[in-house]
A = this chain, B = another copy of it.
Amino acid sequence: MKDMDIAEVSRRTGVPASTLRYYEEKGLVASIGRRGQRRLFDPTVLDRLALIALGRAGGFALDEISSMLTPDSLPKMDRGRLDAKAKELDQIIQRLTAIREALRHAARCPAARPMECPAFRRAVRLAGAGRFEVAPIGPFKAEAVSVKRRKRRTGHASLEQPH
């Protein structure tokens, strides 16, 4: 497989052309030249986009992601930094787990007012309260998982890798 035009990259990854251009502008991906005015991409861009998707799915900002990747798509962070990132995620996961439990609990617990229930209160404290100052957990859509596929991209997509 040789160079791909933007439409093919988009089709193979599900990432809209507009986003690809935007990513290029931000330096997250690079086109390997032009044919006329049209961008040409090397197939390795697919890997790179997968990596970017990984980062995005992990809640990392684009700037942060680009600081994590070398031009040749290697994570360039040192062990310490990667571990730190893993730890961050770990805390988020714990928080989300607490919230999930609170929700589950709310679904079952018969107490009229959840705040009267010690378990629920504990969850509140764990989830948001105590750490609120320390960890203003950013906006991240919980509806993410619901099947709300954005607008339909031009291909069938799914970011599956080649071979």
Residues of A in contact with B (beta carbons under 8 Å apart): 14, 47, 50-51, 53-54, 56-61, 64, 73-75, 77, 79, 82-83, 85-93, 95-97, 99-100, 102-104, 106-108, 112-115, 121, 123-125, 127-130, 132-150, 153, 157-161
B75 touches A146 (CB 8 A): no
Main secondary structure of the interface of A (DSSP, over half): helix
**Residues in B whose Cβ lies below 8 Å from that of A113:** 73-74
**Residues in B whose Cβ lies below 8 Å from that of A87:** 145
| With known contacts A61-B139, A128-B50, A144-B92, A133–B85 Cβ distance under 8 A | no
B99 touches A132 (CB 8 A): no
A142 touches B92 (CB 8 A): yes
Q: How many copies does the complex hold?
A: 2
A96 touches B96 (CB 8 A): yes
| With known contacts A58-B96, A59-B142, A138-B140, A124–B86 Cβ distance under 8 A | no
B50 touches A124 (CB 8 A): yes
Q: Which residue of B lies closest to A62 (CB)?
A: B139
Q: Which residue of B lies closest to A156 (CB)?
A: B133
Sample 8 A-B pairs with CB under 8 A, ordered by A number. Answer: A14-B133, A51-B124, A54-B124, A59-B139, A83-B103, A85-B103, A125-B161, A132-B159
**Residues in B whose Cβ lies below 8 Å from that of A99:** 54, 57-58, 89
